[in-house]
A and B are shown apart, each in its own frame.
Chain A
Amino acid sequence: MALKIVKGSIDRMFDKNLQDLVRGIRNHKEDEAKYISTCIDEIKQELKQDNIAVKANAVCKLTYLQMLGYDVSWAAFNIVEVMSSSKFTYKRIGYLAASQCFHENTDVIMLTTNQIRKDLSSPNQYDTGVALTGLSCFVTPDLARDLANDIMTLMSHTKPYIRKKAVLIMYKVFLKYPESLRPAFPRLKEKLEDPDPGVQSAAVNVICELARRNPKNYLSLAPLFFKLMTSSTNNWVLIKIIKLFGALTPLEPRLGKKLIEPLTNLIHRSFSSRVLIFICFGFFKLAHKKSFSDVIVSLCYITVLISLSSGMPNHSASSVFLRISVVKYLGLLAMSKILKTHPKSVQSHKDLILQCLDDKDESIRLRALDLLYGMVSKKNLMEIVKKLMIHVDKAEGTTYRDELLTKIIDICSQSNYQYITNFEWYISILVELTRLEGTRHGHLIASQMLDVAIRVKAIRVFAVAQMATLLDNAHLLTGNMQRNGICEVLYAAAWICGEFSEHLENPVQTLEAMLRPKVATLPGHIQAVYVQNAAKLFATILKNQEGNTDSTAAQETSQMMIDRLPLFVQSANLEVQERASCILQLVKYIQKLQQKDVEVAEEVSALFAGELNPVAPKAQKKVPVPEGLDLDAWINEPPSESESEDEQPKAIFTKEEPKHSRPRHTEVDEKELARRREARKQEQANNPFYIKASPSSQKVYQEAPGVEHIPVVQIDLSVPLKVPGLPMSDQYVKLEEERRQKERAEKKKKEKKKRKEKRSGRGKKHDSGPESEEDITPAHVVDIVTEEMPEKSSKHKKKKQKKEKEEKEKKKKKKHHHHHHHSDGGGEESVQNGTVEEEEPLTFLVFPLPRKVCDIQGNLQDGSQVVVSVIFENKSDSFLKSMEFNVLDSLNSKLQRPEGSGPHDGLTVPFQLPPGVSNEARFVFTVQSIVMPQKLKGTLTFIVKDSSTHEKLDFKLHFTCTSYLITTPCYSDAFAKLLESGDLKSSSVRLEGVNMPFHHLLARICFHHHFSVVERIDSCASMYSRSIQGHHVCLLVKTSGQTVSIDAKCDEPTLLGNVLDEIKQTFSQC
């Protein structure tokens, strides 16, 4: 035994201790890793020995190595061994190692529970202390649960040294094992009044942390803390308490008032000490509450500001560490806190804050940036952003630059672009931002571009032009792989160019830019947008070019599409591939038509018709719930009720299968699915005949021959050139200045005028005062789509509306004028039918008579055509000839023209009209949807024989819903069955003050609205009609006195609503 000990001690003499290890590492700077690996081998040997001192030494060395970044988790068990040593020296090392190396997932922690419990109840307070310290670092939910009771008893230990540690660790226990909070809280509260200041401060710390998470529950402790605050002299504790009050005052406003006095006392007491500033910051938290007098707030922040602006180093005598930069930082921080409650007082320091943007220190710059957000106004936005743009150019680090970028966008876009007066300027700022290298915020810029282009209608022309240049110079953005983030901008650019392509100056060039082979290197989602928008552009180009006589240009464009699109068809991205192949086929088809000289532009552009309007997030609220729609009612009866209903015998036809006999919805849970999938995979893997999906399946496409495979080398300009043709945002600043100056000048003029008129004596007073916020009128107006519109912008809107109205009125006047001019060409004429609506008196009558035409074209559906018979009556004294009838087609309705004629060609009326003669001509219209009434604009051109001048008459064709109805007889039993079937939607209308016999009324409905009476009983009648598309319309008309109520049913609610409206109108006219 003795020999063994001696042997051990001799070994130990050759062992390295910690100092040797450190020294060794320092001496082996070149081959540190090698040296350490030999050391670790030695340590492993040492750990195998029985001697606890050797083990402790080894563990100590391991702790050091762990700090250097070496993995020592393999020694976790040895650490536990050392922890359980009875000697304090080793125990201390063991716990230290454990606290450094263990984390929640270390499995040996489970083994330590009993050891820790033993140490906690050790008679030696330092044993307990060491155990508590260690535990605070690696406490797990299990340990917390098992040891919560032991720690709770330690909270009332006789030694304050243990008590304070126990109190502190309790917080960790609460976090891991929240159930312990309730039983432990009373004791924790007791500790607030512990005689030992250390324990007291520990308890304050813990309760502050708890209260921060859930302040409500700790309001009851406020009086206690108040007492502590007035009595305590420990600054550390005071700071914590003030912080706690900061969390409590928002919940209890009265607290704020009460706190003013003691806090002011504290300030006076600790003036010229660091604590002053600490307390100030405690205040700023509280300053959110209005109840705090401005005096104190401004006092605090002026103190900070003075030192900030006067550049006085070490304002507080005792603070050795308060540098000017620190004070600056804190000043800005303080400002950001009072900005919310006292924005005016901060705004007055704008210059100071802008100065801080130039500070060398990034932290200070970032703080100043935060402040800028709340400081912009319409007046200074451009100036501030300009300054920021300069910083963007200068900034070295990408993090700071990215921060600047997001801030610029934040500042500009805040509260619905409230502060932007010139959107051209904003777009050019965004475009300038795209020149940033390696920013991560490409998508942010892109979304701003989209947002602005969609919402500010006036800017679209400009935006489209900008985006076209961007697309044209896309290689500048994508040239460098590092700049990948910014290519998101192309997404927006492509979309804007496509969607608003009508504004493009040179759409062919843009289309060409969008189909360059280089595009294929962009991310998939961007390519997809490119392809889709290339198609939109293509449609616009076709439309533009078909007006020309030369059709080769259009064909060239199609050829370009066909040449370039296959590149995208081969894309690995599904979305791109799918869209490209779809569009490619479409273009091929179009080309075929073009070769036959068929005009297709109209149809192609119909693919992308319709304008995109911004919709407010709360817009749904504004849509009124249609009459008779109960949103809370069941659409289908709930199943339990329906079963009881089943017992009632229903009509034979509608008898349903009993509910429970339906195939039961098999519910397969996730696990089961996963199991099956696994099994299937297994099966497939074992099945030699199963062809597995190969990752290179996309290669199949590459068999398709094509020139596109020849790699095209594009010269890559990685130099950040200025994108040619892009405007510099600076010029807008100037322009804006000029604009404002002009406005101001005009205003002044006006004011002068006014003054002159008034002839008041003291006019000159506010002559050249600084322009106020309201004076600046924005150059563009944003479509604000939120519900709560800021007052200012709504004002502008009103103005705009007014303007529009005025314009309309002007137009009307013009028309009248026009009409007078022409009135001698065609005579005055009366109008008979409600289905015709003219802007001017016409020389003819229009009598649209819908008729079902079955014999025209087999491939067209029945009911998609309407025949319009027009009676032309010449009321003038002249002979009219070569009449042409033309209608401007809408999406829904089109005039049928003979094959080969263009979509805008008129139809020749096949007769001439001598004076006083009338004749009828028929025109066929194709109608898609008949549920809505429609108005078509048209013109009639003719030549007056005597003067041989061309004359023109405008008219409107009104396709009412009624005109789509055909009188169809219906028998009462079929009618009853129809009503019973239950798939008709109902609606009703009431007519007041109808003063006519009932049969008269029915006749009117029959005549004007093409209904037939099914049955009539006294003052009640059922009526029926059918639309050309086969919708059933059933009416139940009841009359009592002068009120007529019509209950109606139809399988198409919109159609029904419109028909009812028309009926109502018919009766309101008589």
Chain B
Amino acid sequence: MMRFMLLFSRQGKLRLQKWFTSMSEREKKKIIRDMTTMVLARQPRSCNFMQWKDLKIVYKRYASLYFCLGVESQENELLALEIIHRYVELLDKYFGNVCELDIIFNFEKAYFILDEFLMGGEIQETSKQIVNRSIEASDMLQEDDISEWYEVELFG
């Protein structure tokens, strides 16, 4: 089972954090600090895996953004790597050639996509199409809401 997923920039700025188990703020901050320092200290062509306490840390860099996944020790490293890659594919599909700025300015969307893909530390949906479809559907619902709201504002 996965424990957390972090996205951070090359400068160590956090772009997204997802915790699959409930944790206190202090623990979270410690993990974030450890992860950013550990991952950023890695040499360029190293492998993507690290051991941190009893967790396996799997990370991958896409352009200027590091995706870092903490999984329990009996999980498969390659599977974790694949999960990261799948998430990037999903983001790419949604934003269309995703870049760091997309995630910064639409961070809630990035969360929504992640929530459709993973849940409670497990993979929820392996099919890209289905994830995309459900994201689109809920976005449609939101559009409806907003247009409704405009109506209220204009004619209310």
**Is the beta-carbon distance between B23 and A89 smaller than 8 angstroms?**
no
Known contacts A88-B142, A105-B24, A198-B126; is-contact A325 B76 (Cβ 8 Å)? no
| Bound: A277/B77 CA distance, A | 11
Q: Which residues of chain A have C-beta atoms less than 8 A from B1's C-beta?
A: 209
| Bound: A22/B149 CA distance, A | 24
Among the 9-residue stretches A327-335, A469-477, A638-646, A1026-1034, the one with 4 or more Cβ atoms under 8 Å from chain B is: A327-335
**Is the beta-carbon distance between B149 and A93 smaller than 8 angstroms?**
no
**Is the beta-carbon distance between A323 and B47 smaller than 8 angstroms?**
yes
- Say which residue of A139, A202, A281 sits within 8 Å of B78 (CB atoms): A281
A/B interface sample: 29 pairs, CB < 8 A: A5-B153, A18-B105, A69-B32, A87-B149, A90-B145, A96-B111, A99-B115, A103-B22, A126-B134, A132-B119, A133-B119, A137-B120, A140-B22, A164-B124, A164-B125, A169-B120, A198-B124, A205-B123, A209-B122, A243-B74, A278-B78, A281-B76, A321-B60, A326-B49, A361-B42, A362-B42, A363-B51, A364-B47, A366-B51
Does B95 count as interface, using CB distance less than 8 angstroms? no
Add 16 more A-B contacts to A22-B105, A321-B60, A363-B49 (CB < 8 A).
A63-B108, A67-B14, A69-B29, A88-B138, A88-B141, A88-B145, A136-B119, A205-B122, A236-B79, A236-B123, A237-B126, A239-B76, A239-B79, A243-B76, A321-B48, A363-B47
Binary contact readout B9-50 vs A (1 if CB under 8 angstroms, 0 otherwise): 000001111011011110001001000000000110111111
Does A212 count as interface, using CB distance less than 8 angstroms? yes
Does A958 count as interface, using CB distance less than 8 angstroms? no
Report B76-105 residues with CB < 8 Å from chain A CB: 76-79, 81-82, 85, 104-105
Report A49-71 residues with CB < 8 Å from chain B CB: 53, 60, 63-64, 67-69, 71
| Bound: A205/B119 CA distance, A | 11
Label chain A's interface by main secondary structure.
helix
Q: Which residues of chain B have C-beta atoms less than 8 A from A205's C-beta?
A: 122-123
| Bound: A102/B24 CA distance, A | 9
Q: Which residues of chain A have C-beta atoms less than 8 A from B85's C-beta?
A: 321
| Bound: A234/B130 CA distance, A | 14
**Closest residue of B by beta carbon distance from A205:** B122
**Is the beta-carbon distance between B78 and A277 smaller than 8 angstroms?**
yes
Does A168 count as interface, using CB distance less than 8 angstroms? yes
Q: Which residues of chain A have C-beta atoms less than 8 A from B105's C-beta?
A: 18-19, 22
Nearest-CB distance from A200 to chain B (Å)? 10
Known contacts A89-B142, A92-B138, A363-B46; is-contact A172 B76 (Cβ 8 Å)? no
| Bound: A236/B82 CA distance, A | 10
| Bound: A597/B23 CA distance, A | 73
- Say which residue of A5, A89, A360, A362 sits within 8 Å of B146 (CB atoms): A89
Binary contact readout B47-60 vs A (1 if CB under 8 angstroms, 0 otherwise): 11111000000001
- Say which residue of A60, A209, A325 sits within 8 Å of B47 (CB atoms): A325
Nearest-CB distance from B78 to chain A (Å)? 6
Does A177 count as interface, using CB distance less than 8 angstroms? no
Residue among B20, B76, B126 facing the most chain A CB atoms (10 A cut-off): B76
Nearest 6 interchain pairs by C-beta: A325-B47, A361-B46, A136-B120, A329-B47, A89-B145, A205-B122
Binary contact readout A193-204 vs B (1 if CB under 8 angstroms, 0 otherwise): 000011001100
**Is the beta-carbon distance between A22 and B104 smaller than 8 angstroms?**
yes
Nearest-CB distance from A501 to chain B (Å)? 44
Q: Which residues of chain B have C-beta atoms less than 8 A from A363's C-beta?
A: 46-47, 49-51
A residues with a Cβ closer than 8 A to B are: 2, 5, 9, 18-19, 22, 53, 60, 63-64, 67-69, 71, 73, 87-90, 92-93, 96, 99-100, 102-105, 124, 126, 129-130, 132-133, 136-140, 161, 164-165, 168-169, 171-172, 197-198, 201-202, 205-206, 209, 212, 234, 236-237, 239, 243, 274, 277-278, 281-282, 321, 323, 325-326, 328-330, 333, 360-364, 366
Q: Which residues of chain A have C-beta atoms less than 8 A from B49's C-beta?
A: 326, 329, 363
- Say which residue of B20, B45, B127, B134 sits within 8 Å of A325 (CB atoms): B45
Residue among B32, B45, B124 facing the most chain A CB atoms (10 A cut-off): B124
Q: Which residues of chain B have C-beta atoms less than 8 A from A132's C-beta?
A: 119
| Bound: A119/B76 CA distance, A | 35
Binary contact readout B112-156 vs A (1 if CB under 8 angstroms, 0 otherwise): 100100011011111100100010011001100110110011001
- Say which residue of B45, B108, B122 sits within 8 Å of A206 (CB atoms): B122
Q: Which residues of chain B have C-beta atoms less than 8 A from A19's C-beta?
A: 105
| Bound: A19/B15 CA distance, A | 14
**Is the beta-carbon distance between A137 and B19 smaller than 8 angstroms?**
yes
Residue among A100, A169, A277, A364 facing the most chain B CB atoms (10 A cut-off): A100
Nearest-CB distance from A69 to chain B (Å)? 7
**Is the beta-carbon distance between B124 and A278 smaller than 8 angstroms?**
no
**Is the beta-carbon distance between B23 and A103 smaller than 8 angstroms?**
yes
**Is the beta-carbon distance between B124 and A168 smaller than 8 angstroms?**
yes
| Bound: A360/B107 CA distance, A | 35
**Is the beta-carbon distance between B141 and A126 smaller than 8 angstroms?**
yes
**Is the beta-carbon distance between A71 and B25 smaller than 8 angstroms?**
yes
| Bound: A92/B77 CA distance, A | 32
Q: Which residues of chain B have C-beta atoms less than 8 A from A71's C-beta?
A: 25
Q: Which residues of chain A have C-beta atoms less than 8 A from B19's C-beta?
A: 137
Q: Which residues of chain A have C-beta atoms less than 8 A from B82's C-beta?
A: 274
Residue among B14, B15, B49, B134 facing the most chain A CB atoms (10 A cut-off): B49
| Bound: A202/B47 CA distance, A | 30
**Closest residue of B by beta carbon distance from A320:** B85
Residue among A136, A165, A325 facing the most chain B CB atoms (10 A cut-off): A136
| Bound: A99/B16 CA distance, A | 13
Nearest-CB distance from B83 to chain A (Å)? 9
**Is the beta-carbon distance between B138 and A165 smaller than 8 angstroms?**
no
Binary contact readout B63-83 vs A (1 if CB under 8 angstroms, 0 otherwise): 000000000001011110110
**Closest residue of A by beta carbon distance from B24:** A103
- Say which residue of A22, A68, A277, A360 sits within 8 Å of B43 (CB atoms): A360
**Is the beta-carbon distance between B77 and A333 smaller than 8 angstroms?**
yes
Known contacts A88-B138, A326-B48; is-contact A201 B60 (Cβ 8 Å)? no
Q: Which residues of chain A have C-beta atoms less than 8 A from B46's C-beta?
A: 325, 360-364
Q: Which residues of chain A have C-beta atoms less than 8 A from B79's C-beta?
A: 236, 239, 278
**Closest residue of A by beta carbon distance from B19:** A137
Nearest-CB distance from A419 to chain B (Å)? 26
| Bound: A678/B124 CA distance, A | 55
**Is the beta-carbon distance between A104 and B22 smaller than 8 angstroms?**
yes
| Bound: A5/B25 CA distance, A | 38
**Closest residue of A by beta carbon distance from B125:** A198
Q: Which residues of chain A have C-beta atoms less than 8 A from B141's C-beta?
A: 88-89, 124, 126
**Closest residue of B by beta carbon distance from A60:** B108
**Is the beta-carbon distance between B47 and A18 smaller than 8 angstroms?**
no
Q: Which residues of chain B have C-beta atoms less than 8 A from A325's C-beta?
A: 45-47
Nearest-CB distance from A143 to chain B (Å)? 11
Nearest-CB distance from A124 to chain B (Å)? 7
Q: Which residues of chain B have C-beta atoms less than 8 A from A73's C-beta?
A: 25
Nearest-CB distance from B35 to chain A (Å)? 14
**Is the beta-carbon distance between A169 and B156 smaller than 8 angstroms?**
no
Nearest-CB distance from A197 to chain B (Å)? 7
Nearest-CB distance from B64 to chain A (Å)? 14
Nearest-CB distance from A360 to chain B (Å)? 5
| Bound: A396/B106 CA distance, A | 40
**Is the beta-carbon distance between B149 and A53 smaller than 8 angstroms?**
yes
| Bound: A365/B141 CA distance, A | 51
